[in-house]
């Protein structure tokens, strides 16, 4: 398939479906026509792939989230057709950027979902037989608006104009039985396009619907209300993506979502297996590997045991098969984020699973008793009537991995220390990665060209090749890099002006923090540093500081009041700073609305400084840090997550590291006194006190709460839980240094940026996926 053919097909589709030619197409029509034509072009490869699937050992990636973003550009890019389609469209008077109006496919909240999408991309390009399994949410992650600086959530009805990238496969639907009623899970398959389109993989997303019998009953039954309720319960399950980080709410719905995902997926996998081997399950764990992306799909383990039991396999045999099949990836060390489900809650949805979890728990107790070992509370699978999903996943899988070297060490030494004692051979590390196809080739063609001009083609499938840049970094290359960066900054300025109405100067230093809003990510500390800079500028200090723009992008979970208050606060800061004639040429702040993949693709290539400022030991890995590194930003960060490895690869001298280490924080944790620091540091005190001194109106009391959270704590946490006061001074000085360096010696700074690009090879998700394939899945 070439671009000409594809456009011809698209034109025909425009005619038959919309009775228009391409030049008169709306964004949605153009999207449907081009995507549909691309799907046709991919079909022959996709079909062949499906056939090959059945004869090889397979891996399945089970994830509640897949943040795939906008598919049309990426898929055309991977098919090698994007540039040509662009110019052919132009000849016909159509600007491809019309497609900017097409919504992202946002079946995820942030890093965890984006990781799953990067993994599928890498697997298909690296020829690893991996299928993604998730849920097809009717509404993706909410769309974020600001009203008076406050976050407002709007529904993301992403498929209302159609969904040209999915194929509905009703013939492969399965029934999922729950205590609340049976539902039909219908798979929608999306192609995952490998680079060069030599290979096409599958993301299978389940959508719940009511069974025909129930629909029929709505019209026929005497009990209309009951039938209608059953219909609603079925359709509600995959209606909304569950926003993480919230306190409570919708727990039963969340359990139903998890159960539908795992039951439908295991039925699907078993159906394919039985076609080959009937009821002989002795090959099962040799032919199937299944990865649990965090604990959300952990019920897949008891579900597989249950399904095998239905076909006559004993509990013990089924347990061993399941253990050899599953592996578990941990993504968080934060206690409040480790899932624990009440037995009564699980019983209200899937009592059949509860009885198997109890059997697994009993098996563990027997094993421990036999070995003469004690079951400490941290080893309990069931404790106080609750199932600890991480303990279940650790006991009933053969491999557990963290997502960065530091994180995996913390798992062994702290969070799962007792488990590590029992099963040291299960613990592994798989440092996260990102796909360089989307996060360099697609989003930064200017830098890609510069790289290819220097070292030849090939980084798209071999990111280690970037190392060849190192000996070529000289003054001339630094100059070219700065030209590229300036181009990307200008493009971003235009976008921000169009979407946000804020005009930034591309000659400013761009300091970027884009990621979910959470206290541990410390956007709050960034805001404090901006207020301190503003304070100093107003007092005639910092005369040597070059003009700087701070760019934020973040959504807060709808129920997370403090995170929302931070957004509100930063927006008020932006308003104040940007409108102050005294400072506005030297300091700008913008919080873009509705941060998502498509925004990330525009912001990241334009960044000079990448803020990765979580307290050491809290961010498991981070992947935003890798995307920014790959696009030539220096990291302003703590020794946390994958920052440690970024600095290891690119050199400490090429990044800006500050703050307490894990060991230092461990030492002071019982004697930490943030008030003491606050009293001593007048600049910090003034910045923090803007929350309560009337600088910003606190009409809902939330700013006072943010202030209290630092100095007083609350019943559920101690003061300054995330060590903002502790790290502030070092952060502030290091940040000023980074901003000064960016302009004081532009060639020197470009050299640092280029060293980051050249050393980013390790962070390709191709490397990560090959490690999973070799060391866990054995595919």
Site of interaction with ligand PLP (CB under 6 A): 110-111, 114, 515-516, 596-597, 600, 622-624, 627
Contact status, residue 732 vs residue 532, Cβ threshold 8 Å:
yes
Catalytic residue chosen out of the listed positions 202, 298, 618, 623: 623
Catalytic residue chosen out of the listed positions 516, 586, 602, 752: 516
515 belongs to the catalytic site: yes
CB of 70 to ligand PLP, least distance (A): 11
SS3 (DSSP) at 261: helix
Nearest residue to 393 (alpha-carbon basis) of 291, 489, 520: 291
- Nearest residue (CB) to ligand PLP, 515 versus 762: 515
- Nearest residue (CB) to ligand PLP, 191 versus 624: 624
CB of 515 to ligand PLP, least distance (A): 3
The residues near 421 (Cβ < 8 Å, ≥ 6 apart) are none
- Nearest residue (CB) to ligand PLP, 426 versus 515: 515
- Nearest residue (CB) to ligand PLP, 158 versus 678: 158
- Nearest residue (CB) to ligand PLP, 315 versus 520: 520
- Nearest residue (CB) to ligand PLP, 515 versus 751: 515
CB of 77 to ligand PLP, least distance (A): 16
> What angle (nearest 5°) sits at the alpha carbon of residue 726, between those of residues 723 and 732?
110
- Nearest residue (CB) to ligand PLP, 70 versus 256: 70
In the chain, the largest separation of any two C-alpha atoms, in whole Å, equals: 82
Number of C-beta neighbours around residue 247 at 10 A = 9
680 belongs to the catalytic site: no
What burial class does residue 297 get, using C-beta atoms within 10 Å of its C-beta: 0-12 exposed, 13-18 middle, 19+ buried?
buried
31 belongs to the catalytic site: no
CB of 496 to ligand PLP, least distance (A): 17
Distance (Å) of CA 732 to CA 663, 687, 703, 705: 22, 12, 22, 24
Residue 215 DSSP code: H
CB of 107 to ligand PLP, least distance (A): 12
Tally the residues of the chain.
Answer: 779
Catalytic residue chosen out of the listed positions 515, 564, 602, 726: 515
CB of 629 to ligand PLP, least distance (A): 11
For residues 522 and 725, what is the distance between their CA atoms, to the nearest angstrom?
11
CB of 406 to ligand PLP, least distance (A): 14
User: Could you tell me which residues are beta bridge partners of residue 205?
Assistant: 134, 188
Catalytic residue chosen out of the listed positions 521, 568, 726, 762: 521
Distance (Å) of CA 159 to CA 105, 107, 137, 138, 241: 9, 12, 10, 8, 14
568 belongs to the catalytic site: no
Give residue number: closest CB to ligand PLP.
Answer: 624
Number of C-beta neighbours around residue 37 at 10 A = 23
Residue 615 DSSP code: P
623 belongs to the catalytic site: yes
CB of 78 to ligand PLP, least distance (A): 17
| Full DSSP string of 735-750 | HHHHHHHHHHTHHHHH
- Nearest residue (CB) to ligand PLP, 420 versus 658: 658
The first and second tokens of residue 357, run together, are 């979890």
SS3 (DSSP) at 211: coil
Handedness of CA 541, 542, 547, 550 (dihedral sign): negative
For residues 301 and 758, what is the distance between their CA atoms, to the nearest angstrom?
42
For residues 88 and 22, what is the distance between their CA atoms, to the nearest angstrom?
11
- Nearest residue (CB) to ligand PLP, 201 versus 622: 622
CB of 415 to ligand PLP, least distance (A): 19
4 belongs to the catalytic site: no
Helices assigned H by DSSP within 584-672? 597-603, 624-630, 643-650, 662-668
> What is the β-pairing status of strands 174-178 and 181-193?
antiparallel
Among all residues, which ones are annotated catalytic?
331, 515-516, 521, 623, 627
């Amino acid at each position: 398939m070439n671009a000409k053919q594809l456009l011809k097909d698209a034109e025909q589709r425009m005619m038959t479906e919309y009775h228009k030619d391409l030049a008169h197409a709306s964004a949605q029509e153009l999207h449907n026509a081009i995507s549909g034509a691309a799907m046709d072009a991919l079909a022959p490869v996709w079909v062949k792939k499906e056939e090959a699937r059945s004869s090889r050992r397979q891996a399945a990636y089970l994830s509640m989230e897949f943040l795939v973003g906008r598919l049309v550009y990426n898929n055309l890019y991977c098919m090698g057709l994007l540039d040509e389609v662009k110019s052919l469209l132009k000849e016909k008077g159509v600007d491809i950027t019309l497609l900017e109006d097409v919504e992202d496919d946002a079946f995820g909240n942030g890093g965890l979902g984006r990781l799953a999408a990067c993994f599928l991309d890498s697997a298909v390009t690296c020829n690893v037989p991996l299928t993604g399994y998730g849920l097809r949410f009717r509404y993706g992650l909410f769309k974020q608006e600001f009203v008076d600086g406050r976050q407002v959530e709007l529904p993301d009805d992403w498929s209302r104009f159609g969904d040209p990238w999915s194929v509905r496969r009703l013939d492969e639907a399965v029934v999922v039985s729950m205590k609340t009623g049976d539902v039909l899970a219908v798979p929608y398959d999306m192609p995952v396009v490998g680079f060069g389109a030599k290979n096409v993989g599958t993301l299978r997303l389940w959508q719940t619907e009511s069974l025909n019998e129930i629909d029929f009953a709505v019209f026929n039954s005497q009990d209309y209300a009951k039938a209608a309720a059953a219909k609603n319960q079925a359709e509600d399950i995959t209606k909304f993506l569950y926003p993480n980080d919230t306190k409570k709410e919708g727990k039963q719905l969340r359990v139903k979502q998890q159960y539908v995902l795992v039951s439908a997926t295991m039925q699907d996998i078993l159906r394919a297996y039985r076609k080959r081997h009937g009821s002989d399950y002795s090959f099962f764990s040799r032919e199937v590997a299944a990865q649990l992306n965090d604990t959300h799909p952990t019920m897949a383990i008891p579900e597989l045991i249950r399904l095998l039991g239905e076909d006559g396999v004993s509990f013990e045999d089924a347990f061993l098969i399941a253990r050899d099949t599953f592996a578990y990836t941990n993504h968080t060390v934060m206690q409040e984020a480790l899932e624990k489900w009440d037995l009564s809650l699980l019983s209200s949805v899937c009592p059949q699973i509860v009885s198997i979890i109890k059997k697994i728990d009993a098996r563990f107790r027997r094993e421990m008793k036999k070995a003469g070992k004690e079951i400490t509370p941290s080893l309990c699978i069931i404790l106080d009537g609750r199932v600890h999903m991480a303990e279940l996943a650790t006991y009933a899988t053969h491999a557990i991995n963290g997502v960065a070297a530091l994180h995996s060490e913390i798992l062994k030494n702290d969070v799962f220390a007792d488990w590590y004692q029992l099963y040291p051979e299960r613990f592994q590390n798989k440092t996260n990665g990102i796909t360089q196809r989307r996060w360099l080739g697609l989003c930064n063609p200017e830098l890609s060209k510069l790289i290819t001009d220097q070292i030849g083609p090939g980084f798209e499938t071999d990111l280690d090749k970037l190392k060849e840049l190192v000996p070529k970094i000289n003054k001339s290359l630094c100059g070219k890099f700065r030209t590229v960066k300036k181009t990307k900054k200008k493009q971003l300025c235009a976008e921000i002006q169009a979407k946000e109405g804020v005009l930034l100067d591309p000659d400013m230093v761009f300091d970027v923090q884009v990621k979910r809003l959470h206290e541990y990510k410390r956007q709050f500390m960034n805001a404090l540093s901006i207020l301190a800079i503003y304070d100093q500028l107003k007092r005639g200090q910092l005369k040597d500081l070059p003009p700087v723009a701070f760019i934020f992008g973040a959504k807060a979970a709808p129920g997370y009041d403090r995170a929302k208050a931070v957004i509100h606060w930063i927006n008020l800061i932006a308003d104040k700073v940007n409108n102050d004639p005294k400072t506005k040429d030297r300091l700008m702040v913008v919080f873009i609305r509705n941060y998502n993949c498509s925004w990330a693709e525009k912001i990241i290539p334009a960044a000079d400084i990448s803020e990765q400022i979580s307290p050491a030991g809290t961010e498991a890995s981070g992947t935003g840090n890798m995307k920014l590194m790959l696009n030539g930003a220096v990291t302003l960060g703590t020794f946390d997550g994958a920052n440690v490895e970024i600095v290891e690869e690119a050199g400490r001298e090429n990044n800006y590291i500050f703050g307490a280490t894990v060991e230092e924080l461990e030492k002071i944790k019982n004697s930490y006194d943030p008030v003491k620091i606050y009293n001593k540091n007048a600049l910090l005190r003034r910045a923090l006190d803007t929350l309560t001194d009337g600088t910003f109106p606190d009409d809902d009391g939330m700013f006072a709460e943010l202030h209290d959270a630092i100095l007083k704590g609350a019943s559920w946490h101690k003061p300054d839980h995330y060590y903002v006061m502790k790290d502030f001074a070092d952060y502030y000085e290091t940040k000023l240094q980074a901003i000064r360096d960016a302009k004081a010696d532009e060639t020197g700074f470009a050299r640092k940026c280029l060293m980051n690009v050249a050393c980013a090879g390790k962070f390709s998700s191709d490397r990560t996926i090959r490690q999973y394939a070799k060391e866990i899945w054995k595919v």
